[in-house]
Amino acid sequence: MTHTGIGPEYPTGSRPDAQAVPAAIAALAARFGNRLVTSRAVCEQHGHTTTWIANEPPDAVVFPQSTADVQEIVRICAARGVPIVPFGTGTSLEGQVNAPRGGVSIDLRDMNRVLDVNAEDLDCVVEPGVTRKQLNEHLRDQGVFFPLDPGADASLGGMAATRASGTNAVRYGTMKDCVLALKAVLANGEVLTTARRAKKSSAGYDLTRLLIGSEGTLGVITELTLRLSGIPEAIAGGVCPFPSLEAACNAVIATIQIGLPVARIELLDEVQVKACNAYSRLALREVPMLFVEFHGTEAAVAEQSERFGQIAAEFGGGPFEWTARAEDRTRLWQARHDAYWAAVALRPGAKPIVTDVCVPISRLAECIMATQADLVESRLVSPIVGHVGDGNFHLALMVDFGDADEVERAEALLGRLVERSLAFEGTCTGEHGVGQGKMKYIATELGGPAVAAMGAIKQALDPQGIMNPGKIVAGL
């Protein structure tokens, strides 16, 4: 393993024997022709993630077009003990698509058909390479939409695999909540159906939820049945300035606790607001801000917006300027979604280390303020952005990787951030997943029995350890 950034410290098992990979590649080439690629550039691109973890490219990339194709690929690799790594859009943040033991990346971009839309049932069936924007484009005229929006235009298969969420999760849940059923190719090449199209079921173990968040370590998702939502009749939203982070967090707590059905409630600290002003040409006051949105009938969203304005005022915030005009809202949320790029532009030459944690909302203010203080003490630059209705927040540390001391300070800060979140009864990741980057925290967060249980499940479903090895649980 070589790393240009900060490296994961976890053992990732050993590579297959020297003959295995060439043999698998030959078999795949015979079957898939030019849908198998071994060029260095393509392989490196498939180990690349939007983050700091060093590139560990696979030996080959294959582009299946069907579940049957994926079965063949898995069988060819399994017969030779060759690792496989599922790949969606490569926008995961913790090294999920790296190939530390080499092997074959399965790029699902050609499996990008919307197979079925059942608007009456608020569900649809898609292949894993469909992206969230592509799906919503497809659904546009049918009165329904898929609500979840991680920053990137990620593939839905990848979003399920990493248990992604985004700004709407406070109202619509995460991928855990928005997937009804999956089909996945298991390590033995068989196709698992986890559930059917009914909205709820208590028919046995929840295999759907077991695969969601398993990051390709238990199976390759080849079909998803997704829960959709009716497009709200009206949407209202706006921005609300606060005198301090603490005041903003307390307004969020009050909003959630009285049950105001907020659809989005996003915190931007003053550093992020400044970055957004510069990047997206906004003219926001450079103080902590909440971006808030309500979905419902016209009367309801107006009532809710007014009510939120009152709550904000109770904590010294406001004025809450809200609008139901789509144009104004779009501009605002585009800026929110561009927060990552705005952060990157903050410090030219530096590269971002993006991370997230999640704590109970009552501890959010304390956790964010301690983290801001830690940034100052560590002489590091990072905006803080949060899906604060869920207690989830992100850093985008802008690090000069040429400065070893700065890299060390960044690494130490990341460790303290996780420790702090755990001390506040939180989790080391709210939505980015474990990948390689956070394996070392699972034992601290959940304890030995949880790590052992995850290992036992991994071993039971993937006895050879070929499914995306070196992620989540230690390899064989």
Binding to a copy of itself (CB under 8 A) within 175-194 occurs at: 176-177, 186, 190-194
Least distance from a copy of itself to the Cβ atom of residue 277, Å: 29
Instruction: State yes or no: residue 383 binds a copy of itself (CB under 8 A).
Output: no
Number of residues that bind a copy of itself (CB under 8 A): 98
Query: By CB under 8 A, is residue 115 in contact with a copy of itself?
Result: no
Angle between helix 364-377 and 245-257 (nearest 10): 160
Quote the least distance from Cβ 296 to a copy of itself, whole Å: 8
Task: Calculate ∠ Cα 152-10-52, nearest 5°.
Answer: 35
- In contact, 407 and 6? CB cutoff 8 Å: yes
Q: Give the three-class secondary structure for 381.
A: coil
User: Using CB under 8 A as the criterion, what x/- string covers residues 205-244 for binding a copy of itself?
Assistant: xxx-xx-xxx---x----------xxxxx-----------
**Minimum CB–partner distance for residue 33 and a copy of itself (Å):** 29
- Please identify which residue in 138, 173, 351, 411 interacts with a copy of itself, judged by CB under 8 A: 173
Q: Which amino acid, one-letter code, is at 131?
A: T
The least CB distance from residue 359 to a copy of itself, in Å, is 6
Which one of residues 428, 466, 467, 474 is an interface residue with a copy of itself (CB under 8 A)?
A: 428
Pick 373 or 423: Cβ nearer a copy of itself:
423
- Only one of the segments 82-90, 253-261, 345-353, 378-386 lies at the binding site for a copy of itself (rule: CB under 8 A); that segment is 253-261
- Return phi, psi of residue 408, to 5°: -65, -45
Closest residue by Cα to residue 307 from 287, 297, 292: 292
Q: What H or E segment, with its residue span, contains residue 326?
A: helix 326-337
Among 111, 413, 454, 474, binds a copy of itself (CB under 8 A): 454
* Rounded-to-integer distance, Cα 182 and Cα 235, Å: 31
Measured from the CB atom, is 230 or 402 closer to a copy of itself?
230
Q: Does 258 bind a copy of itself (CB under 8 A)?
A: yes
Asked if residue 286 binds a copy of itself (CB under 8 A), the reply is: no
Q: Which is nearer to a copy of itself, 41 or 460 (CB)?
A: 460
* Residue 303 sits in the site that holds a copy of itself (CB under 8 A): yes
Q: For residues 15-54, which are near a copy of itself according to CB under 8 A?
A: none
* Residue 315 token pair: 């904590």
State in angstroms the smallest separation of the CB of 51 from a copy of itself: 15
Tokens representing 364 are 């959010």
Taking CB under 8 A as the rule, does residue 362 contact a copy of itself? yes
* Residue 358 binding a copy of itself, by CB under 8 A: yes
CA-based radius of gyration for the chain: 22
Identify whether the C-beta of residue 48 lies closer than 8 Å to the C-beta of residue 137: no
Which H or E element spans position 461? helix 448-461
C-alpha of 300 from chain center: 31
How far apart are alpha carbons 254 and 102 in whole angstroms? 50
Candidates 217, 311, 207, 206; CA nearest to 258 is: 311
Q: Is 196 in the site for a copy of itself (CB under 8 A)?
A: yes
